[in-house]
């Protein structure tokens, strides 16, 4: 689904970026694991935040790794299922380069969830910040919180989808500034047919006891 930079092709950086992060029930997108939270942050080519979107998602099964994402079954009971918010996700991604840290993970889950919803996963230009950090950041590992510490970026609520997406959005300009050439993609920007209407349940709206 995601198309990564190539030596030749389209330059899309001026169109802005949609930085995405998922919290999931587990690690296997091909089996029974599902997305339980999505966070998307739109930024312009200079890294300025233009808007954000987040919602919990009812995975129609147990939420799984609550010790990591701090989401429990009660929090997602009244949340929309993925098919209900898929059009909004596509609307937020439309006309941009998609960015994620370890983007193969987001790619696998987004492709699987769209397929379950009866939607054909589109081909999207993308940047994976993980290999970018591996090539230019001298840290002992390249987990998101480690490289953000190196860059002086604070993650206020780690392992929440919106906070991790926002941290990645702040990290991206730092990484791109260390490159000497613009990125290019073999995939053009295409209409995705998304729409912003729908029912959402951001984690921030919940009162946690």
Predicted confidence (pLDDT) per residue in 100-145, tens digit? 999 999 999 999 999 999 999 999 999 999 999 999 999 999 999 9
CA–CA dist 74, 173 (Å, integer): 37
Main-chain phi, psi angles of 67, to 5 degrees: -65, -25
pLDDT at 49 over 90: yes
Q: Is the pLDDT of residue 208 over 60?
A: no
Cα(190)–Cα(173) distance, integer angstroms: 24
Long-range (24+ apart) CB contacts under 8 A made by 128-131 are: 128/2, 128/4, 128/99, 128/100, 128/101, 128/102, 128/103, 128/104, 129/99, 129/100, 129/101, 129/103, 129/168, 129/171, 129/172, 129/175, 130/101, 130/102, 130/103
Residues tagged active-site: 159
Spans of all domains in the chain: 2-201
Is the pLDDT at 58 greater than 90, yes or no?
yes
Between 93 and 191, the higher pLDDT residue: 93
Higher-pLDDT residue of 153 and 208 is: 153
Name the fold adopted by 2-201: Nucleotidyltransferase; domain 5 (3.30.420)
Give the DSSP letter of residue 124: E
More confident residue, 157 or 205: 157
Q: Is the pLDDT of residue 207 over 50?
A: no
d(CA 105, CA 81): 20
| pLDDT of 209 strictly over 50 | no
Per-residue model confidence (pLDDT) at position 123: 93
Task: Report the predicted TM-score, pTM, of the whole model to 2 decimal places.
Answer: 0.92
For residue range 12-39, what is the model confidence (pLDDT) as tens digits? 867 799 999 999 999 999 888 999 999 9
* C-alpha torsion angle, residues 148, 21, 155, 58 (rounded to 10): -160
Mean pLDDT of 55-66: 91
Please check whether residue 111 is in contact with residue 121, taking contact to mean a CB–CB distance below 8 angstroms: yes
Quick check: 178 and 188 in contact, CB under 8 A?
no
What pLDDT does residue 205 have?
A: 58
Q: pLDDT by residue (tens digit) across 153-193?
A: 999 888 899 999 999 999 999 999 988 788 889 998 888 88
Q: Please list, in sequence order, all residues whose beta carbon lies within 8 angstroms of the beta carbon of residue 155, skipping any fewer than 6 positions away.
A: 144, 145, 148, 163, 164, 167
d(CA 75, CA 56) in angstroms, rounded, equals 8
């Amino acid at each position: 689904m995601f198309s990564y930079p190539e030596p030749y092709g389209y330059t899309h950086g001026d169109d802005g970026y949609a930085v995405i992060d998922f919290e999931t029930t587990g690690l296997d997108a091909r089996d029974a694991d599902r997305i339980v939270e999505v966070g998307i942050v739109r930024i312009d080519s200079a890294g300025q935040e233009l808007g954000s979107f987040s919602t919990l998602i009812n995975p129609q099964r147990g939420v799984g790794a609550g010790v990591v994402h701090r989401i429990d079954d009660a929090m997602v009971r009244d949340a929309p299922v993925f098919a209900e918010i898929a059009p909004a996700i596509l609307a937020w991604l439309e006309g941009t380069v998609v960015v994620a840290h370890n983007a193969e993970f987001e790619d696998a889950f987004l492709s699987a969830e769209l397929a379950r919803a009866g939607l054909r996963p589109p081909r999207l230009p993308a940047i994976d910040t993980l290999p970018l950090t591996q090539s230019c950041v001298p840290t002992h590992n390249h987990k998101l919180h480690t490289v953000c510490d190196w860059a002086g970026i604070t993650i206020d609520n780690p392992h929440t989808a919106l906070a991790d997406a926002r941290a990645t959005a702040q990290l991206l300009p730092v990484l791109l500034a260390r490159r000497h050439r613009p990125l290019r993609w073999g995939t053009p920007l295409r209409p995705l047919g998304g729409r912003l209407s729908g029912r959402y349940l951001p984690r921030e709206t919940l009162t946690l006891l």
